[in-house]
Chain A
């Protein structure tokens, strides 16, 4: 069983929902990312999605675009992100880490070389936004054969036929994108999400994480009620942007954001 499956199964046994933060690796500086990861673990998160910065983040809104620009300016590369995960693993071998990003940095490194390095670093899952399963026939097996979970997106526009096919290519969890749009937009409609996620649950046994548009304890609880986990991105990245000059203040701000979300999600269990 992969580390991701283990964590999600334990949570399920406890009747709890996963809190999954996303931050862009290397933002505000590559030396700070591992510390931020530990801070988030201390605040009660279950799985970390670590964004690999890309020059052309087509699926992202301005907040994560700017985070990519900051991280790249500080010399963040895919290799450097893998080094961050290795560093994180020195003191944490329980919290799963999913690398999330775009295909080209992986393609440039070479798929086999990347998959080997990711396993060695202690990465658990790979989510490439611009890699639909149709193009993943040769790539996804390189990940799964090494025990890395390939995680794919589902969207409001995904047909039933595709939901089944995509779930068939995925392990760990599937990531449901809550609305048509880019990250950071604030247009989540919880009723629509509830309906679609319930439907996805009918079509696959995989846990469903929901991301895009979750920004506080209230939206986290509303979405957590109908899914297996919530992914929180832009609001954290925006907090990093606003506190980049003072790392201690930044860590406190992240904790202050995540704690109420954790409590709200755990409040659903009782």
Chain B
């Protein structure tokens, strides 16, 4: 089933209760409802406020360094022997990933709401770093929750956050990864709801988060659309982005949703392989359920307990996904696929060697799939990969897999 989307249809989503079709919504305990409703009202107002938008655009230009380039990966294209491969260089943003687009926007929101204390969850640490960064700039108190396992495998980012003045809380409960960090962030929020703004790092969570994070990240797709027209005179044939919670992917996809000719590929973490059960690919192998405030595809057992996930990339190691992706999957607009740890690591090396661009392991998932896809496409076609972040933070992980002690 595939539906032709129109601007009118998109304008009506999410609906007043934050639903994208059967997905999304606001499934939180009562204490948070008032805050979420205030946030929604304020955001809906500021969304149309030229002053707010101008402040956001200015920060994206002068602080983040936007627009990020759309780069033709000539050698990678030659080696692949198929469609032209272009890279959207979110890795060149300040702090090294797309995450900062969203933290700039939400920190601005927090200051408009008069909140002085910021909390965030993080997996790979990129969102934590991006949050700590905007807090340092605005002089806001910053607390970052991070699963104990992720604190281990992303120690560089932990130290970066501390240098930026943030307090990093290592979360020992549950599976000690991103979902548990999000649980603890929610617990902190419910406790300190009066003065605290929760900067969620992806398009998950209760309404209005999936909406506002998507809006802030859509700059990626808007630029890509314009740059593609400028540089090639046409729209890309396919967009490829990795999907953890799905913020870099929705940011890339959203401005193209009504362009039927543009195929959308979201690449989930296949871990050790979908059939091993050790992966983080809810859209490929999960089913709908409710977690962290929204209804979406989840990895869970038959009893509705959330399954533990595995990915070599901490930023993709999450059992849920943003509800808008669940909707795009069900209406057939988005194609959701997966690549394994090994394929992602191979792509990490390939892009580094062939283009001199070291992608984050998250982004390497998109590279791995895009190369397979491009190889099957015509030479006059065009694929854009969202390089959501740079790979410096992952050098330890890669070295360890190589048996090298740094």
- Complex Cα–Cα for A77 and B305 (A): 9
A79 to B27, CA, bound (A): 23
Q: Are B27 and A135 in contact (CB under 8 A)?
A: yes
- What is the bound-complex CA distance between A246 and B303, given in angstroms? 29
Question: Residue A180 contacts which of B193, B295, B302 (CB distance < 8 angstroms)?
Answer: B193
B200 interface hit (Cβ, 8 Å): no
- Contact A59-B303, Cβ < 8 Å, known A108-B289, A180-B194: no
Q: Are B303 and A108 in contact (CB under 8 A)?
A: yes
Say if the beta carbon of A91 comes within 8 Å of chain B.
no
A182 CB → nearest B CB, Å: 5
Question: B294-306 toward A: CB 8 Å interface, digit per residue (1/0)?
Answer: 0100101011111
Report yes or no: A108 in contact with B302, Cβ–Cβ below 8 A. yes
Contact B31 A180 (CB under 8 A): yes
Across the interface, which residues of B come within 8 angstroms of A182, CB to CB? 187, 190-191
Distance in Å: Cβ of A168 to nearest Cβ of chain B: 14
**Min CB–CB distance B179 → chain A (angstroms):** 6
- Whether B183 pairs with A157 at a CB distance below 8 angstroms is no
Contact B300 A104 (CB under 8 A): yes
Interface residues of A in 56-88 (CB under 8 A from B): 56-62, 65, 69, 72, 77-79
Q: Are B291 and A180 neighbours in the complex by a CB distance under 8 Å?
A: no
Question: Once the chains bind, are B290 and A107 in contact (CB under 8 Å)?
Answer: yes
B179 touches A154 (CB 8 A): no
Please classify how large the interface on chain A is, using the bins under 10, 10 to 19, 20 to 34, 35 or more: 35 or more
Task: Indicate which residue in B33, B173, B192, B306 contacts A132 across the interface (CB closer than 8 Å).
Answer: B33
Contact A157 B304 (CB under 8 A): no
Residue of A nearest to B207 (CB): A134
Please indicate the chain B residues that have their CB under 8 angstroms from the CB of A134 in the complex. 17, 25-26
| Cross-interface CB contact of A104 among B190, B191, B304, cutoff 8 Å | B304
Q: Is the CB of A61 within 8 A of B27?
A: no
A107 and B30 CA atoms in complex are apart in Å by: 19
- Cα A77 to Cα B30 with chains together (Å): 25
B277 at the binding interface (Cβ < 8 Å):
no
Q: How far is the CB of B299 from chain A (nearest CB, A)?
A: 11
Residues of A221-249 at the interface with B, using a CB-CB cut-off of 8 Å, are none
- Assess the A56–B183 pair: CB atoms within 8 A: yes
In the bound complex, how far is the Cα of B36 from the Cα of A204, in angstroms? 24
Which residues on the A side are within 8 Å of B186 (C-beta)? 58-59
Selected from B25, B35, B292, the residue in CB contact (under 8 A) with A135 is B25
Binary contact readout A26-55 vs B (1 if CB under 8 angstroms, 0 otherwise): 000000000000000000000000000011
Most interface-central of B27, B30, B295, B302 (chain A CB within 10 A): B30
Q: Are A177 and B30 in contact (CB under 8 A)?
A: yes
Q: Determine whether the beta carbon of A180 is less than 8 Å from that of B191.
A: yes
| Residues on the B chain within 8 Å of A265, using CB | none
Interface residues of A in 155-188 (CB under 8 A from B): 155-159, 162, 166, 177, 180-182, 185
Question: Which residue from B31, B35, B179, B293 sits with its C-beta under 8 Å from A177?
Answer: B31
| Interfacial chain B residues near A78, Cβ < 8 Å | 303-304
Interface pair B190/A130, CB less than 8 Å apart: no
Cβ-based interface call for B65 (8 A): no
Q: Are B174 and A56 in contact (CB under 8 A)?
A: yes
In this assembly, does A153 line the interface, its C-beta being within 8 Å of a C-beta of chain B?
A: yes
B232 within 8 A of A: no
**In the complex, A137 Cα to B37 Cα: how many Å?**
18
A contact residues around B8 at 8 Å (CB): none
Task: Let me know if A194 is at the binding interface, CB within 8 A.
Answer: no
Residues of B within 8 A of A185 (CB): 191
Q: Does residue A103 face the partner (Cβ distance < 8 Å to B)?
A: yes
Q: What chain A residues lie within 8 Å of B34 (beta carbons)? A: 155, 157-159, 162
CB nearest neighbor in A for B305: A55
Contact with A along B25-68 (1 / 0, CB 8 A): 11111111111000000000000000000000000000000000
Measured in the bound complex, the distance between the Cα atoms of B191 and A62 in whole Å is 14
| Contact present for B193 and A130 (CB under 8 Å) | no
Are B30 and A154 in contact, with the CB atoms below 8 A? yes
Q: A65-B173, A130-B27, A177-B30 are in contact. Are A56 and B304 (CB under 8 A)?
A: no
Chain A residues with CB below 8 A from B295, complex form: 107
- Please, which residue of chain A has its CB at the minimum distance from the CB of B34? A157
Given contacts A58-B187, A182-B190, contact A129 B29 (CB under 8 A): yes
User: A118 vs B290: C-alpha distance in the bound complex, in angstroms?
Assistant: 20
Residue of B nearest to A129 (CB): B29
Instruction: Verify A108–B191 contact, CB threshold 8 A.
Output: no
A54–B30 CB distance below 8 A: no
What residue in chain A is nearest B31 (Cβ atoms)? A155
Q: Of residues 264 to 323 in B, which have CB atoms within 8 Å of A's CB atoms?
A: 288-293, 295, 298, 300, 302-306
What are 17 A-B contacts defined by CB distance under 8 Å? A55-B174, A59-B190, A69-B174, A78-B303, A103-B27, A104-B291, A108-B300, A108-B302, A130-B29, A134-B17, A134-B25, A156-B31, A157-B34, A162-B34, A180-B192, A180-B194, A181-B31
Query: Lowest 5 A-B CB distances belong to which pairs?
Result: A108-B304, A105-B304, A155-B31, A77-B303, A153-B30
What residues make up the interface of A, taking CB atoms closer than 8 Å to B? 54-62, 65, 69, 72, 77-79, 102-109, 129-132, 134-135, 152-159, 162, 166, 177, 180-182, 185
A55-B305, A108-B289, A180-B31 are known; give 20 further A-B pairs, CB within 8 A.
A58-B29, A58-B183, A59-B187, A65-B173, A77-B305, A103-B290, A104-B289, A134-B17, A134-B26, A152-B30, A153-B30, A155-B29, A155-B30, A155-B31, A155-B33, A158-B33, A162-B34, A180-B194, A182-B191, A185-B191
